[in-house]
Structures are given as structure tokens and as C-alpha cells.
Structure 1
Amino acid sequence: MSERQPGVLPVPGRSAPDAGKRAPDRGRRPGLPVPVRLGVAALLAAAASAAFLLLFIQGSFDFAIERRLTMFGTMAVVAFAQAVATVVFQTITHNRLLTPSIMGFDAVYILMQTLLVVVFGGSVLAATDGVPKLLTQTLLMAGFTVLLFSWLFSGRRGSLHVLLLVGVVLGLAFRSLSDFLQRLLSPAEFDVLSARLFGRLSSAEAAHLPLAAGVCLVVGAVVWHRRYRLDTLLLGRDTATGLGIAHKRELTVLLLLIAVLIAMSTALAGPMTFFGFVTAMLAYQFSGTHRHAVVLPMAFLIGLITLAGGQFVMEHVFYASGMLTVVIEFLGGAVFLVHLLRKGTL
């Protein structure tokens, strides 16, 4: 039996120089081949999308299909942004329980909307809806997120615990300030504001979708170009650096991309705290591999199945079309707690 050379690390999926045959891919679980898994997910996503768009149309077909297309476009953007951002964030933090949304990010959106109503009145929310407001909200939230996440990688004392502590503290502070300001509003203004503080797939404007889709395509192309670097980051900082990855620069770029995706999703459809966590967790379970070339598209497809299929069921089975995001957040929070208790640690 030959000895392994000191300092040489085995590469998953490749045999050692002295091995007689190819070693199995340790990142892949036994079961269906990866192309079959992706194909099944794509077929389910297509079926859920077709059912939502085409079935049970009553009245004017043109009016119904226009509304549904706008809502479906919002679903696609939200599914892509939340799924990709969460998978990438979990990769760079080496933690399957963390998502960008639970780090105090949604509190920024709530505070921004509350300040608008307090300063300018309830009518300002509808009067200012448009692409400029979407861009402004996205830039502000992205800037806050980059500033917050930089704690994880800044200096020798930066750590995951620092990021968690800062995110929780700032999130609580922003929510407390928002609650205080909301108590100063009249009942009518508070009702208008409350409708904006929950995830809403049906109220997105069609004029916002081209910008949101363009941003997602650009960010998605950059992330896809870095899919092999993301695989390398899973090996740890020291190993990734030894393999030629500029670790700090790569994390800075990825954090910026995550911030843009989450900010765009939140500004377009409102806060969705646990949706990204559910899609990422299911993507890893169904992919059968840790390779991002598989996990990223699988996460998007699962997100699209969840939103399109869930909306179809809520509309035509339970007749509660506006409750999908509430149900997703409730179930996602329950799954998060169960997963956390089973794992026992962050």
C-alpha cells in the first residue's frame, strides 16, 4: 500500500495518483442521476406555472392573463433572487441555517416604509410607486447589507458570532423604532402601511419587472461564472486561498451580489424571511450533490414550484389568494426551528 505524499489533499471525485480506479464523488448521494433530478424539477416547475397561468380563468381572458403574467413574473424574480442569494450566502458562511433575511435586513425595509408614512403621510406610498423608488430602496438596503455583512470578514476579530450579534441588535433596534413611529400614525395610515409590511406577490407593478429581471440576469450571470469558485470556497478559507482564490476579494463581490438580489426582491414583493431558507434546504436535499452548477438551478426551480404551485392551491382550493406568503413564512419558520433544534447549533 503506497503512502500519500505529505501536504497533498485528496480531491473529491478524483482518484489519487496511486489508486487503481476512479474514486466515487463524495459530494454526490446515491440515487437518481443529477440530470434526471433537474429534469423532474423543471417539469414540475413548468406544470405549476402552466396551471397557475392557464387554468380556471373566468371572465375576460386578456385581463386575467395580463394579471397572472405580472404576478408570475414577480414569482420568478423573487424565487431566483431569494434562492440564489441564500445558497451563496450559506456557502460563504459555511452554515446551512443562515439566510441574509434573518440578519436584520427586513427591519431596514420596514423602517424605510414607516418613515415615509410618518413624514409624508399614507398617500405617499402609492404616489411614489415607480422605478425611481424601487431603485432607491434597493440601493439603500444593499448599502446597509454590505455594511452589516462586512463585519463577518473585517479584521482579525470579525467572526460569525459578531455578524449574528450585530444583525440581531440592529434588527431589534430598527423594529423597535418602527413600532414606536407606527403608534404615532392614524388608523387609516397604519392600515395602508401594514399592507406594505408583508410579502405581497399580487401588488407588484408590471413596470418594475423589466428592471428587476435585468438585475437578476446580470447578477445570475456573474454568480454562474463563479460557480466553480463557490465550490472551492466550500473547502474552507485556507484551502481556497491555497488553490488560488483571492478569498477576501471574492467574498466582497459575493456579498455585494447577495445584497443586490435580496434588496431587489424585498423592494419588489416585500419581506420574505424564511422562503430562501426553505428553497436552499430543499435544493440540497433534492440535488444529491453540493456542486453549485446543480444546486443553484435546483433552488430556483424549487422556489418557482413553491410560489406558482402554492398560489394555484391557495386560490382554487382554499380560496385565500393573499395568504400564500403568510403560509410560507409560518411553515418556513417552523422548519427552521425544527432544523435548528435537530442540529443543536448555528
Structure 2
Amino acid sequence: MALLLALLAAIWMLQGLGPGNRGFILGLRATKLAALVTVAVAVGVSTILFQTVAANRVLTPSIMGFDALYVLLQTALVITLGGAGLVGLPPGVKFLAEIAVMSALAATLFGTLLLRGARDVPRMILTGVILGVLFRSVSGFLGRIMDPNEFAVVQSVSFASFNRVDATLLPLAMAVTALAVAVAWRMSARLDVLALGRDPAVSLGLAHRGVTLAVLALVAVLVSVSTALVGPVAFFGLIVAGLAHGLMRTAAHAVLLPAAGLSAAILLVGGQWLFERQLGQAATLSVVVEFAGGLFFLYLLLKGRIR
């Protein structure tokens, strides 16, 4: 998988490179390639982590409302500071503050939900979906009462676009993603125990509540990175998590985490190359991914493959 990703990256960088200003073109392509890989790794790893905590193969951070929570946070910032005030904030400081707030809110809201309702899967799914609808409804209500110019700022972060990448955030986003993935990797053994369920994990000496909240904080960080760079993606994580489980056929997180990140990167880089270079933007990758992910979600529900 790593070799396939390297091949796709080479094709992405070198295909159609003319005799003009190659340095400028390569710089633009490298920035977009780095953003795609960063988003892919963040989405893939966060989905595996969240499914481990939830003990459920259907749930993803986006389905449970993490992305909607991020959009609500952006809307609240625009309401409080105004569009000009939000744009005037230093990007790095704003990004780190958003990650901190997202982590705290996610640990409070979703940590309570998962710790109390992990044994009741239907109630957990329903509550998570309701929270997501609530966050989106509040964002929509706030959008209706704000100035149209400020609403445009909110709209820019409400829909996924792999063609729109904030290059100023990319170095910080890459560093934060690498740190979060490294922490998750170090927790692989504890994640394997956590996946056994609450009672077996506690009987084996795992601090279940503390590990669950730590994993949710990592998920919030990774979701914040991916959403800040390209916007919310609801079902992409479900696809790559399913690919990782299907290809690796193991429950070991030391294997699943890199497999999910690589699968996501291959799909994003290969898909963006296909739609951008071969099809001439005749279709949008985010729309196709969401459509395919929605079908896969329905398939998992109908087949009952939730664990």
C-alpha cells in the first residue's frame, strides 16, 4: 500500500509537467498532495479510533456529529467576532484554540454518551445522530440571523472541497496530525484491550474511562485538522475503515491504524488525480465519495455488520 501511494504521488507530481516554470508548478502540486495525505491520514486514523471506543463498525465521528460540532464552533466564532474579526485572527492560534475547544467538548459530550450507552447500540446511534442534527440545526438558525457576508464565511467551511486547501494551516496541521497519530500508535496495545469491551478491559487492568476520554480527544484533534483543511466529510471514514478491516483481517491496531491511513491516502490522491487530471473536473470527488460511503453505510446496516 505504501508503494502504491508512492507511485500515485509520483504520477500526481510529474504527469503533464511541461517546460515552463516547473518549480512553481511542483510547489503547488506538492502543497495539494501534502494536504490530501494529511486529511486522509486524519480521517482514516480517527475513524478506526472512534469505532474502537464505540465497539461499532457503523459509527464514524462524522455520523455521530463531530463535524457538525466543528461547524457550530465556527458559526459561534463568526457570531461573536464577526467575519472580519475571525479572518483577522492569527491562523495558527485560531487553529490550536479550535482543537482545544473541540477536544474538551467532544470528551464531555461524546465521552458521557459512549461511557453510559456503549452496551445499547441502537440508543447510542440514535443519540449521536440527534446530537449531529442538533448541532446542524443550531448552526442553521444562527446562519439565518447573521449578516449575509458573515454567513458566506460560515458556508465556506460547511461543505467539503478537496480543491480548496488553506496552505497557511498546512504545516501546523501536518505537525498536529503526526503527533496525534504517533500517540495513537503508542496506544496500540491498550486499544487492542479496549476493543474487547468494557468489562474484559477493566478485568485486564485497563483504565477504561481514562483511555476512552484520551482516544476521544485524539479523534477531536484529527477531525478538527481534516475539517479545517477541506471541510466536513461524512462517510469517507466509513469506507477506509471498512477497507482496512477487509484487507488486513486483523484486530491489531498496530496494523489497522497505518492501513486505514494508507487506504484513505490512496483513495484521495488517486481519486483527485482521476477527477482533476483525467476527467477535467467533470465530477467532484467529495460528492462521489459521500455517495459511495452512504451506500456502504446502508449495506452495513442491512447486513447487520456493526461489530
Distance 1:247 1:155 in 2: 12
Counterpart residue number, 2:34:
73
Counterpart residue number, 2:140:
179
1:34-113 to 2 correspondences below 5 Å: 41-57=1-17, 59-113=20-74
Residue 149 in 1 paired to residue 110 in 2? yes
Distance 2:116 2:295 in 1: 35
Q: Which amino acid aligns with 1:241?
A: V
Residue 242 in 1 paired to residue 203 in 2? yes
Structure 2 residue ranges without an equivalent (≥5): none
Structure 1 residues 180, 323: closer, same or farther in 2, change over 3 A? same
Using the TM superposition, name which of 180-189 and 141-150 deviates more: 180-189
Query: How big is the shift at 1:263?
Result: 1.9
TM-score by length of 2: 0.88
1:163-178 to 2 correspondences below 5 Å: 163-178=124-139
Distance 2:86 2:190 in 1: 41
Residue 233 in 1 paired to residue 189 in 2? no
Query: How big is the shift at 1:244?
Result: 2.7
Query: How big is the shift at 1:285?
Result: 0.7
Which secondary structure state, in structure 1, belongs to the residue aligned with residue 164 of structure 2? coil
Query: How big is the shift at 1:337?
Result: 1.4
Distance 1:264 1:102 in 2: 17
Structure 1 residues 140, 326: closer, same or farther in 2, change over 3 A? farther
Structure 1 residues 194, 224: closer, same or farther in 2, change over 3 A? same
Distance 2:25 2:47 in 1: 32
Q: Which amino acid aligns with 1:49?
A: A
1:248-327 to 2 correspondences below 5 Å: 248-320=209-281, 323-327=284-288
Q: Residues 62 and 235 of structure 2 are in contact (CA less than 8 Å); yes or no, is this contact kept in structure 1?
A: yes
Counterpart residue number, 1:114:
75
Q: Which amino acid aligns with 1:227?
A: S
Query: How big is the shift at 1:306?
Result: 0.7
- Per-residue CA deviations over 1:25-45 (Å, capped at 9, x if unaligned) read xxxxxxxxxxxxxxxx11211
Using the TM superposition, name which of 43-52 and 168-177 deviates more: 168-177
Q: Residues 151 and 162 of structure 1 are in contact (CA less than 8 Å); yes or no, is this contact kept in structure 2?
A: no
Distance 1:82 1:95 in 2: 17
Using the TM superposition, name which of 165-174 and 87-96 deviates more: 165-174
Distance 1:153 1:95 in 2: 11
Distance 2:156 2:118 in 1: 41
Residue 336 in 1 paired to residue 297 in 2? yes
Q: Residues 114 and 124 of structure 2 are in contact (CA less than 8 Å); yes or no, is this contact kept in structure 1?
A: no
Identity %, equivalent residues? 41
Distance 1:277 1:309 in 2: 18
Structure 1 residues 170, 240: closer, same or farther in 2, change over 3 A? closer
Using the TM superposition, name which of 170-179 and 42-51 deviates more: 170-179
Structure 1 residues 148, 308: closer, same or farther in 2, change over 3 A? same
Distance 2:226 2:235 in 1: 13
Q: Residues 5 and 262 of structure 2 are in contact (CA less than 8 Å); yes or no, is this contact kept in structure 1?
A: yes
Distance 2:24 2:48 in 1: 36
Distance 1:321 1:70 in 2: 23
Using the TM superposition, name which of 41-50 and 112-121 deviates more: 112-121
Structure 1 residues 155, 236: closer, same or farther in 2, change over 3 A? closer
